[in-house]
């Protein structure tokens, strides 16, 4: 992701930006520490780039229909309009029409919809990990920054939501990662305390508030890496 000019800029950055993977908070890494002798009862996952691919990478498919370089498209997809869509303030059509008008793209909303949906794919290996954790009896939560229409499509196609005891989407809650309130809300829905929770997300920026609340965190990079990290921390073994 692009570099930020100041710490305050990072803290106020739109949650939509991180979904594209355009920036990562390096300072967040130092906030994480492995706490030992803590019993984990609840595991909370992110969705985009952890279980399914999201908007990140869609610029390559959009480039084919717009005739514009992918590098030029990525930054155009983020901003206040995407945040409004993710917070349920505007529809997908309104979001797409706004960015089409703003950038004078020669395409309509249905064409962009199709290209974006074609980018949604299941990330191999993550489902098997979640299913194993579910069999072991962990309480599972999903905390996702996403838009209503994209979730309706993804949930029909991948049927991932059935794996979780509690799901919480930004478009329903009107708040999103990395806002501390989002984490507090899902903890309340799960009836969990932070010290007994493990939070898994692909964004260091999104991990920081969870760590500050007292949760264990894992920075997701791949399913194989997550599997190794769960084994290293003894999460699998703890529920055999």
Which letter, b or e, does each residue of 181-208 get, where b requires 16 or more Cβ atoms within 10 Å of its Cβ?
ebbeebbeebebebebbbbbbbbbbbbb
- Structural domain count, the chain: 1
94 in a structural domain: no
95 in a structural domain: no
134 in a structural domain: yes
70 in a structural domain: no
**Half-sphere exposure (Cβ direction) of 200: Cα atoms closer than 13 Å:** 27
Q: What is the CATH number of the domain that holds 178?
A: 3.40.50.1000
**Beta-carbon neighbour count of residue 50 at 10 Å?**
23
| pLDDT score at 37 | 59
Mean pLDDT by 10 residues, the chain (240 residues): 38 41 35 55 97 93 92 93 97 97 94 94 97 96 98 96 97 97 98 97 97 97 97 78
**Beta-carbon neighbour count of residue 41 at 10 Å?**
17
Residue identified by tokens 């699998």 is: 236
Residue-range definition of the domain harbouring residue 42: 23-53+122-239
| pLDDT score at 236 | 83
111 in a structural domain: no
9 in a structural domain: no
Residue identified by tokens 């793209």 is: 105
Task: Quote the distance between the C-alpha of residue 123 and its chain's center.
Answer: 13
CA distance 109 to 99: 10
| pLDDT score at 69 | 93
| pLDDT score at 77 | 95
CA distance 205 to 165: 25
164 in a structural domain: yes
17 in a structural domain: no
pTM of the shown model: 0.84
């Amino acid at each position: 992701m692009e570099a930020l000019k100041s710490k305050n800029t990072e803290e106020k950055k739109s949650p939509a930006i991180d979904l594209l993977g355009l920036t990562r908070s390096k300072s967040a890494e130092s906030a994480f520490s492995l706490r030992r002798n803590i019993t984990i009862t609840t595991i909370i996952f992110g969705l985009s780039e952890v279980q399914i691919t999201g908007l990140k990478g869609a610029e390559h498919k959009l480039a084919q229909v717009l005739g514009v370089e992918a590098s030029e498209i990525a930054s155009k997809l983020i901003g206040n309009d995407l945040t409004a869509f993710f917070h349920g303030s505007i529809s997908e059509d309104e979001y797409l029409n706004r960015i089409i008008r703003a950038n004078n793209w020669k395409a309509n909303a249905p064409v962009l919809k199709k290209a974006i949906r074609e980018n949604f794919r299941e990330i191999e290996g993550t489902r098997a990990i979640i299913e194993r954790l579910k069999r072991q009896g962990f309480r599972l939560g999903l905390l996702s920054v996403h838009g209503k229409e994209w979730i309706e499509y993804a949930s029909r196609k991948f049927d991932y939501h059935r794996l979780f005891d509690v799901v919480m989407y930004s478009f329903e809650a009107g708040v999103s990662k990395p806002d501390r309130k989002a984490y507090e809300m899902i903890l309340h829905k799960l009836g969990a305390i932070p010290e007994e929770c493990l939070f898994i997300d692909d964004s260091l920026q999104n991990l920081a508030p969870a760590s500050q609340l007292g949760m264990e965190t894992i920075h997701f990079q791949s399913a194989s890496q997550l599997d190794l990290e769960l084994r290293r921390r003894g999460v699998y073994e703890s529920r055999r």
